[in-house]
Amino acid sequence: MTEAKKRRFFYGYVVVGAGFVIYMVFWGAYNTFSVFFRPVMTEFGWSSAATSAAYSITFIIAGVLALFIGRASDRFGPRLVMTLCAFFFGLGYMLMSQIGSVWQLYLFHGVMMGIGMGGAFLWHFSNIWRYGPHLIQEPNKIILTIETVGLIVIFIFGVTGVIGSLRRNGYAGRGH
């Protein structure tokens, strides 16, 4: 084996690294719902069942759309599909600052973020399995690590006041 072949960079590192960051942000941001649950419920006077339904809708939408998102990823490529999913997730998250009624919560959090989460789950899991065996013994371990790290990062932001500031200035009550 020549020296050039030994030192050749394996592109799978980039794919797994990018997937790690993407999934960490998606999963961490998605699970901030529990941080905002009580403030949103209190601010708008909704029941816990009505408020928590948005979280369930997101998982249902993500699960159903994963079938179609996987096919779209095979046909159009993961970059385009992941970009569209990230757009919907980000737009839904951003529009959460404008909610005024429960149907908006369902649309922005449930549907829009559900579209994004469907792409995050599917794209990342398939690419970890494609590139992961070259990097690690069991790809499932890296996926579980990503979820944990995402939650820790979001917790750190919450402790430092970033999430609290979002809650006070926009996410749950638009600053009043």
Average pLDDT, the chain: 75
Shared-domain flag, residues 145 and 131: no
More confident residue, 83 or 160: 83
For residue range 15-28, list pLDDT tens digits in order: 777 777 777 777 77
Q: What pLDDT is recorded for position 173? A: 46
Residue 38 lies in a domain: no
Shared-domain flag, residues 70 and 131: yes
Residue 164 lies in a domain: yes
For residue range 131-165, list pLDDT tens digits in order: 655 555 555 566 666 666 766 776 666 556 555 55
Residue 22 lies in a domain: no
Given a contact cutoff of 8 angstroms between Cβ atoms, the answer to whether 58 and 117 are in contact is yes
Residue 99 lies in a domain: yes
More confident residue, 159 or 108: 108
Q: In 96-112, where does DSSP find H-type helix?
A: 102-105
For residue range 33-64, list pLDDT tens digits in order: 877 788 888 888 999 999 989 988 998 998 88
Residue 1 lies in a domain: no
Please give the structure tokens belonging to residue 153.
């990062």
Q: Which whole number is the average pLDDT over 122-130?
A: 64
Domain extent, residue 117, equals 46-135
Residue 39 lies in a domain: no
Shared-domain flag, residues 168 and 105: no
**By three-state DSSP, how is residue 8 classified?**
coil
Given a contact cutoff of 8 angstroms between Cβ atoms, the answer to whether 123 and 74 are in contact is no
- Name 25's Cβ contacts closer than 8 Å, sequence gap at least 6: 150
For residue 127, pLDDT over 80 is answered with no
Per-residue confidence at 112, pLDDT binned at 50, 70, 90? very high
Domain count, the chain: 2
Q: In 77-112, where does DSSP find H-type helix?
A: 78-95, 102-105
Shared-domain flag, residues 96 and 153: no
- Report the C-alpha dihedral over residues 46, 155, 126, 75, rounded to 10 degrees: 60
Q: What pLDDT is recorded for position 140? A: 58
Gap between the Cα atoms of 130 and 121, Å rounded: 14
